[in-house]
């Protein structure tokens, strides 16, 4: 199998078709583009023409949203076969999915739903990750979710749960820093405490995104992982603290709703790249000392 991620340790963005003219007009100062794999499971047409253009010029990350790895049901074999065809066709440098479930009884939900962190759930997800990696012939990355509820029956912390999956399957992890912030705010926890427990040595890619804050029915603060706004300073600071410990890592800007004009999205990637560049400069200075 391939390594968990061979993406360049630089900033990238999620590709949106409305940005294609701007992207195609001139070489972009980006390390990679990421696409949702399910958007490219058709046979051809403009989506594949655009993806082929990107494949020729940039590294690619495929991000899945439909495998429902956290489900109690078996992985959808037909969906997995379509994913294998797509990966074989474009040979992305990385493939990732979510620690969540999104289908049941043949019905696909437009959401990534949480699961209890128990030994039984752990065994199911290990089986599913093993099946996906065997079918694709590559190691995958598994992403920490944004959560809004916790299960009373959970007996394992989320970082330990992810570490156990990776230890049993050999998969890597995708650390979504915005998800860490959102979940911590929703559960009255400390994001930095979560990150102190997270197995950073297993991270093959980082995600950054925006969110919005509202209140729930009881009037309590509620953060929603909306991917429709710039990342906030607190998330960028958490990201810089992670990079200071890990060194540079492939870093994606996610912006899926209320998508802005290309210069705004590129500016978000440049903010992340500035953090990576500062990390590299510190490493060079320490090596020269």
pLDDT in tens, 194-215: 999 999 999 999 999 999 998 8
Q: Does residue 260 lie in a domain region? A: yes
Mean pLDDT of the chain: 92
Mean pLDDT of the region 170-181: 97
Residue 164 CA to residue 42 CA, distance in Å, equals 35
Residue 151 CA to its chain's centroid (Å): 23
Q: What is the pLDDT of residue 3?
A: 44
Q: Does residue 17 lie in a domain region? A: no
* Token pair in block for residue 65: 């949203």
Q: Which tens digits make up the pLDDT trace of 236-273?
A: 999 999 999 999 999 999 999 999 999 999 999 999 99
Structural domain count, the chain: 1
Q: Does residue 22 lie in a domain region? A: no
Q: Can you give the residue range of the structural domain that contains 182?
A: 30-288
What is the band of 1 on the pLDDT scale with cuts at 50, 70, 90? Answer: very low
What is the band of 282 on the pLDDT scale with cuts at 50, 70, 90? Answer: confident
Percent of the chain with pLDDT strictly greater than 90: 78
Q: Does residue 11 lie in a domain region? A: no
Question: Dihedral (C-alpha) 189, 196, 100, 9: value to the nearest 10 degrees?
Answer: 130
Mean pLDDT of the region 47-54: 97
Q: What is the pLDDT of residue 283?
A: 80
Q: What is the pLDDT of residue 156?
A: 97
Q: Does residue 203 lie in a domain region? A: yes
Under DSSP, the state recorded for 144 is P
More confident residue, 235 or 6: 235
Q: Does residue 125 lie in a domain region? A: yes
Residue 161 phi, psi (nearest 5): -65, -45
Under DSSP, the state recorded for 188 is T
Phi and psi based region of residue 83 (left: phi greater than 0; alpha: psi -120 to 50; beta: remaining)? alpha
What is the band of 2 on the pLDDT scale with cuts at 50, 70, 90? Answer: very low
Decide: helix, strand or coil at residue 145: coil
Phi and psi based region of residue 161 (left: phi greater than 0; alpha: psi -120 to 50; beta: remaining)? alpha
Q: Does residue 109 lie in a domain region? A: yes
What predicted TM-score, i.e. pTM, was given to this entire model?
A: 0.94
What is the band of 106 on the pLDDT scale with cuts at 50, 70, 90? Answer: low
CATH number of the domain at 268, please.
3.20.20.150
Residue with tokens 């379509």: 82
Span of 3-12, 66-75, 127-136, 157-166 with lowest mean pLDDT: 3-12
Is pLDDT above 60 for 90? Answer: yes
Q: Does residue 8 lie in a domain region? A: no
């Amino acid at each position: 199998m391939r390594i968990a991620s061979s993406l360049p340790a630089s900033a990238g963005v999620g590709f949106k078709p409305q940005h294609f003219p701007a992207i195609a007009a001139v070489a972009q100062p980006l390390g990679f583009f990421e696409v949702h794999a399910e958007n490219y499971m058709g046979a051809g047409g403009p989506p594949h023409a655009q993806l082929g253009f990107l494949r020729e010029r940039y590294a690619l990350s495929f991000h899945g949203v439909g495998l429902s790895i956290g489900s109690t049901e078996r992985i959808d074999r037909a969906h997995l076969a379509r994913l294998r065809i797509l990966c074989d066709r474009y040979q992305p440098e990385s493939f990732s999915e979510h620690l969540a479930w999104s289908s049941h009884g043949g019905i696909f939900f437009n959401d990534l739903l949480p699961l209890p962190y128990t030994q039984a759930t752990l065994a199911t997800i290990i089986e599913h990750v093993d099946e996906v990696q065997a079918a694709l012939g590559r190691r995958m990355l598994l992403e920490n979710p944004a959560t809004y509820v916790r299960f009373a029956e959970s007996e394992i912390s989320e970082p330990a749960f992810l570490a156990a999956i990776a230890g049993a399957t050999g998969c890597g992890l995708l650390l979504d820093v915005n998800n860490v912030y959102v979940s911590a705010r929703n559960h009255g926890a400390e994001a930095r405490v979560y990150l102190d427990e997270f197995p950073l040595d297993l991270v093959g890619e980082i995600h950054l995104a925006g969110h919005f804050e509202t209140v729930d029915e009881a009037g309590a603060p509620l953060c929603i992982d909306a991917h429709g706004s710039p990342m906030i300073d607190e998330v960028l600071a958490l990201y810089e603290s992670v990079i200071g410990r890990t060194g540079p890592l492939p870093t994606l800007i996610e912006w899926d709703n209320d998508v802005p004009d290309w210069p705004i999205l590129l500016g978000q990637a440049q903010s992340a790249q500035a953090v990576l560049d500062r990390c590299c400069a510190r490493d060079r200075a320490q090596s020269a000392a």
